[in-house]
Amino acid sequence: MRFSVVLPNSVHVAALTQPWERGLAGTDIAHVARTAEKLGFTRVFIPEHFVTPTSHVELSGNHYFDATTAQAYIAGATSTISIGSMVTILPLHNPVIAAKSIATLDWLSGGRAQVTVGVGWLEEEYDAIGVPFRRRGRLTDEYLAAMFEMWHSDTPAYDGEFVRFRDIAFGPKPIHKPHPPIWMGGDAEAVLRRAARFGDGWAPWQTRPEDFPAKLDYLKSQPGYDGRPFALFFSLASLNIGLAHEINDDPHSQFGQNAQQVIDNCNMLAGLGVTDTWVNPPPVVDFSSYLDHLHWVSEEVMPTAVD
């Protein structure tokens, strides 16, 4: 099991964000990333949204970053840890610019970029940016194919419905070969098919853990899957976040009150195919207590949880 950290004060989602987080500045968030790096965590994650409809602010908040920009800032504050997104809403980006931004991040960070691709769920966000919400799946598939062409080919060319280019050069290529790890975020069968074709991992949010084995079997049965190593990220924190960021108050959304309970839950998830997780903190009173939680996970859980 590999352990990640969703960086605090990167969202203001009522079901997830604790009150003390709102006082953190960028330097504090960078300090968390450096601490996670020092303690042996595999990666840190940064979510993304561009706008929040006013009808969703109570549950979703309006505090989100552009993921790639924030990843670049965190990469500059660290040295070895992987810097991931959770998620990058790819249809809201120009694919050529997204390919350049991610390749730039990966090249300058020495191959530490990771991207979790999602299609989003807020139709009003698409409307504000001028992207057709009902075509977001088709856009994502074509954008990924075009981005892979730019990353992989010395003479990139692509002729699709939404993206066309030829007679261009693209550099620098990403350092991580063949490209930075790409995970797919979401739960629909279309997401699983996309993950089979393009992905190195899957990050569900609404799927129950007991359904993971069947979902993974479906994913790996798709013609796009070629047997490559594949990650599955899941945190029990997801159980508390319902559709449209509703609060579920799920009693299973915490990993446990002591180290053995947390270890047992990590091992349970590993038995269902999970390779990567985030041990979300219990309610804590301040930043110092949160950092203590990171140390506790590193010292009491990570050495014992199943490999």
pLDDT in tens, 217-241: 999 999 999 999 999 999 999 999 9
Q: What is the DSSP string of 144-180?
A: HHHHHHHHH-SS--EE-SS-EE-S----SPPSSSSSS
Average pLDDT over residues 118-145: 98
Q: Which pLDDT belongs to residue 305?
A: 82
Which DSSP state fits 81?
S
pLDDT digits (tens, 9 = 90+) for 165-204: 999 999 999 999 999 999 999 999 999 999 999 999 999 9
Note the pLDDT tens digit of each residue in 4-17: 999 999 999 999 99
pLDDT at 257: 87
**d(Cα 274, Cα 134) in Å, to the nearest integer?**
31
Pinpoint the alpha helices (H) of 199-275.
212-220, 259-271
What is the percentage of the chain residues whose pLDDT exceeds 70? 99
Tell me the CA end-to-end span of the chain in Å, nearest whole number. Answer: 5
Confidence check: pLDDT of 307 > 70: no
Domain boundaries, the chain: 2-301
pTM for the model: 0.96
How much is the average pLDDT of 24-47?
98
CA–centroid distance for 101 within its chain = 16
Q: What is d(CA 2, CA 187) in angstroms, rounded to the nearest whole number? A: 21
Is residue 306 scored above 80 in pLDDT? no
CATH architecture observed for domain 2-301: Alpha-Beta Barrel (3.20)
Which pLDDT tens digit goes with each residue over 139-170? 999 999 999 999 999 999 999 999 999 999 99
